């Protein structure tokens, strides 16, 4: 993965004068297009004071998982653990919410503002075992930049 070029392009999105929602959508679109094994890219954010996540911008197939309770599935577990969660093979996860038979792996990285977990970026892949430390580094970078514009 060519991290420098991806980060450089992402910075043009972050520095653009578009709305936060448009920036988030552009990030989803770009990552889904640019990284061949990113088949679904989306943001979930804490839904007000409720203990649930609400889907925001995304790129990929539609999902019925618009609301995810804390603790449920990979996203819900990250909302509770406050840690990155890399699942190289979703079939080996007990607490997994299936987004479709094509999904083989998932990576979720939380977004923090002032130490509070406010949301996350979620990537599904139709490839088993694709994610590396570089993916985590890239998505942590994205989450730090997103936190700065929220």
More confident residue, 2 or 70: 70
Query: What tokens were used for 67?
Result: 């609301």
CB 87 within 8 Å of CB 77: no
The predicted-structure confidence for 80-123, as pLDDT tens digits, reads as follows 999 999 999 999 988 887 777 899 999 999 999 999 999 999 99
More confident residue, 145 or 96: 145
Residue 91 is classified by DSSP as G
Query: What tokens were used for 77?
Result: 């577990």
Please give the order of strands across the beta sheet that includes 40-46: 67-69, 52-59, 40-46, 116-125, 105-113, 85-87
- CA–CA gap between residue 134 and residue 148 (Å, rounded): 21
The predicted-structure confidence for 25-35, as pLDDT tens digits, reads as follows 999 999 999 99
Note the pLDDT of residue 1: 66
Residue 16 backbone class (left: φ over 0; alpha: ψ -120 to 50; beta: rest): beta
Kindly state the helix (H) or strand (E) to which residue 128 belongs, with its residue range. none
The predicted-structure confidence for 36-85, as pLDDT tens digits, reads as follows 999 999 999 999 999 999 999 999 999 999 999 999 999 999 999 999 99
3-149 folds as Beta-Lactamase (3.30.450)
Query: In a 3-state reduction of DSSP, which class is residue 104?
Result: coil
Give bridge partners of residue 146 from the DSSP assignment: none
């Amino acid at each position: 993965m060519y991290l420098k070029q991806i980060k450089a392009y992402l910075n043009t999105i972050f520095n653009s004068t578009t709305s936060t929602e448009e920036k988030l959508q552009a990030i989803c679109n770009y990552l889904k297009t640019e990284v061949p094994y990113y088949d679904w890219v989306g943001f979930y954010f804490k839904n007000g004071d409720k203990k649930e996540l609400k889907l925001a911008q995304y790129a990929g197939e539609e999902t019925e998982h618009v609301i995810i309770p804390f603790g449920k599935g990979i996203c819900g577990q990250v909302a509770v653990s406050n840690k990155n969660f890399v699942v190289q093979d979703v079939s080996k996860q007990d607490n997994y919410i299936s987004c479709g038979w094509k999904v083989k792996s998932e990576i979720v990285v939380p977004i923090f503002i002032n130490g509070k977990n406010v949301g996350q970026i979620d990537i599904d892949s139709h490839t088993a075992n694709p994610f590396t430390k570089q993916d985590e580094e890239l998505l942590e970078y994205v989450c730090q930049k997103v936190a700065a514009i929220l």
